[in-house]
A and B are shown apart, each in its own frame.
Chain A
Amino acid sequence: MTSYAIQTSALVKTYGIGSKATRAVDGLNLNVPEGSIYGLLGRNSAGKTTTIRMAMGLAHPTSGDIKVFGLNPARDPERIAVLRQVGFVPEDKAFLGYTPRKLFEFNRSFYVATWSDALARKLITRLELPLDKSYATLSLGNKTKASLINAIAQRSRLLILDEPTTGLDPVVLDELLRILVEDCTADGHTVFLSSHQLNEIEQIADYIGIMDRGKILLEGPLDDIRSRFLRATVTGENLPTTSPSILSTRRERHATQYILQQSPQAFLAELQSQGATIADSTPLSLNEIFLELCRKDERREESTVDFGARR
C-alpha cells in the first residue's frame, strides 16, 4: 500500500468575503507518494503557493482536508510533529536578515537530531555560497542557495520547495538538480517542489501534478503521463472533431493534427479501422502537455463565463 507524504481531499481555500471572495484553491485532490520527487506545476495564481502554505500550517483550509504524513498541519500538537519532519524553502527566499553562516548556525539548533554539518558544508561548496556576506548584499541567487542549503541540511523526511530555482544560473541549477536526486531522496525522503520551470521538473520528477485555477488538472507518475498524450497527424475523410480522447484539433492543408489523451493508441487504431491514415505520431513533452491542458481549461472557463453572461 502506498503511503503519502502529502494528501489533500476536496481542499478549498478562499480569501476575502462576499463578492470579493477569491478561491485560491478549489477542491484540490493531491497525492504525493513518500520517497518520490513530486513536481507541482501551474501558471501564476494557480494555487501552488497557497497549497504549500496550507501544508506548512501557515494558512488554514476553508474546507476539505490536508494531511502531511497523516497529520493535520493546522493544529497543535500535530503541527509540531509535521514541522519536525519538513524542510521548507519559501517562495521569496527571505530569511531573517542574517548572513548565511548565522542562518545555518541558528537553524541547526532547531533540528539538533537531524541536522548535518557535513551535508551543509558539502552543499555550500557545491553551490559556491559566500557564507559571511550580509543579507542586504546577497543576490537573489545566493538567497535561494542559502534557503535551499538551510532546508536540505535539516535532512527532513519531506522537503517542500516553493519555486526553488529562482535566480539560479544554469550551472548552479544543474548542480541543484543533481543534489535533489542524489542527496535528498537517497534515504527515501520526499521532495515536493512547485515550479513553472517545466524543463527542470521534467529532468528530476517521478510524479507530476498540474494545477490551474485552484484545481488539479492532471496527476500521476511522469512516465504514465507522457504515455497518455500523443500528437498525431492524420489524413482521411470525415475525421472526428470531438471525442474524450481528443484534447485539441488543428486542421492543416491536407491533414488534421490531433493532440490526444487517454488511450491515444486505441483512438488511432479506431481511426485506422475507419480508413484514415496516420501520417505521424510523436509523444508530447511535459511543456506541451502543460500548455494543452491549461489552454483546454481556459477554453472551458471562458465558455462557462459566456454561458453565464447569456443567462
Chain B
Amino acid sequence: MIFNYAFILEAFGPFLLLMIYGSIKLKRQRAKINAEGYAEPTFASDPSPAPRGLTALGPRLFPRLNAPQQAYLEFHLKQVRMFFLCGVYAVTSVATSGLFPNDSNTFGSDHQSPLYVWLNFLQGWSLDSIFLSIVAIGAAFVLAMQFAQGESSRFYRTRPLSLSFLFWTRTTIATLTLCASLIAGFVLSFLMLIATHGLVWRPLTKTIGLTIVHGVMRINLGATPGAVFRGLVSSPFRLALCNILGAIVVYALSFTFFLLPAVRLKTKIAVGFGVLIFGVMAAQILIRSSLYHFARLLFLYPRLGPPPPYIFAVVPLALIAAFLYLARISFTYLES
C-alpha cells in the first residue's frame, strides 16, 4: 500500500498544488481589478514585451517568417511550456515508479541488491504503452479541438495564415513537445536512479541468468548468464535508446493515428475520445498477449526484453507520414 499512496501522491500532488495556486492567483487578480475599477486604455503605450526564453526561439530559428507567422509561433511556444513541464513530470513519475518499494516483487526478494533495483528500474522505465498512448491521444484531441472546435479554431483560421502553416506548426510543436518531455523525463529519472542508488548496473555478478521464452523474460537467479541479460546489465545506453525510441514511436503513432478521427469527430469529440481510449486498451491487451511480434514490427517496445532491429523503424515512420498526410488533407476541408 505504501507504493500506491506514494505513487498517487507523486503523480497528482503537484497538479493539485498547481490548481490551488492558479485559483488563488485568479481570485487575487479579480479582487485587484474590482478594487481599481475602470482602467484607462493605456495598453497602446505599452508595446508588447520582447519574446524571452522558449518563445524567443521562433524568431531566432525562423527569421524569415512574417509578423503573423511569428506571432502564431510565439503563442504556441508560450503555450506548450506548461504542457512540456507536465509531460516531463508525468514521464518521470512513471519511469521512476520502479524505484518505489513494491509489494509484488518480480525480480527477487532483496530490495537493496543492485540487480533488484536495476531490473525494477528498467521495468518502470519500459513505460507502459497504455499510459503513453492515452497521453498521446489526449494530446491529439486537444490539438484537434484547437484545429476544429469553436473560437480558437475560428480565430486562427481568420488570421492571415496559410492552412499549411496552421497545421504543420501546431502538429510539429505538439509532437516535438511530447517527444522532448519524454526524453527529458527519461534523463531525469536516470539521474534520479544514479543519485539514489549509484551505478547499479555495474557491479552485477555473472551468476544470474536470463532467458527469453516467447518474448517473455525469465530470470534465473544463480544460473549461467544469458546473452540478452548481459545486454540488459552491461549496455544500459543501448537499452535506454531502445526504450526511448520505442516510447517515441508509441507517442507519435498514437498521436498521428488519432489526429485524423479527432479532427473529423468535431462535436462528438468527447464520446469519440472515450471510445478510442477503450480501443487502445483493448489493442494493448492484444499486443501483450498474442501480437508481440506485430508490435516489434512497428518498432514498439511493449515489454522488457530484446529491442527490435532498428530497420523496423521504417514501418512506423511510413505510417506516421501517411497519418499526417491524411490529417492534413482533412484539415484543408475542415469547416469550423
Contact = CB atoms under 8 A, between A and B. Distances in A.
A90 B39 contact: no
A80 B48 contact: no
B160 A110 contact: yes
Interface of A is mostly: loop
Q: Which of A79, A95, A110, A118 is packed against the most chain B CB atoms within 10 Å?
A: A110
Interface size class of B (residues with CB under 8 A): 20 to 34
B44 A109 contact: no
Interface in B151-185: 151-152, 154-155, 157-164
Contacts of A57: 157-158
Given A95-B155, A130-B38, A131-B41, A106 B162 contact: no
Contact of A109 (B29, B39, B67, B155): B67
Given A125-B41, A132-B39, A96 B67 contact: no
A106 B71 contact: yes
B154 A90 contact: yes
Contacts of B157: 56-58
Interface string B25-40: 0100110010010110
B68 A109 contact: yes
Interface in A79-95: 79-81, 83-84, 86, 88, 90, 92, 94-95
Given A96-B151, A137-B30, A109 B333 contact: no
A130 B44 CA distance: 15
Contact of A76 (B70, B155, B162): B162
Contacts of A106: 71, 75
B157 to A, nearest CB: 6
Given A94-B150, A110-B67, A118 B44 contact: yes
B5 interface: no
A86 B160 CA distance: 9
A118 B44 CA distance: 7
17 contacts: A56-B158, A57-B157, A58-B154, A58-B158, A58-B335, A79-B163, A86-B158, A97-B151, A106-B75, A109-B67, A109-B71, A110-B68, A110-B159, A131-B39, A132-B33, A134-B29, A137-B30
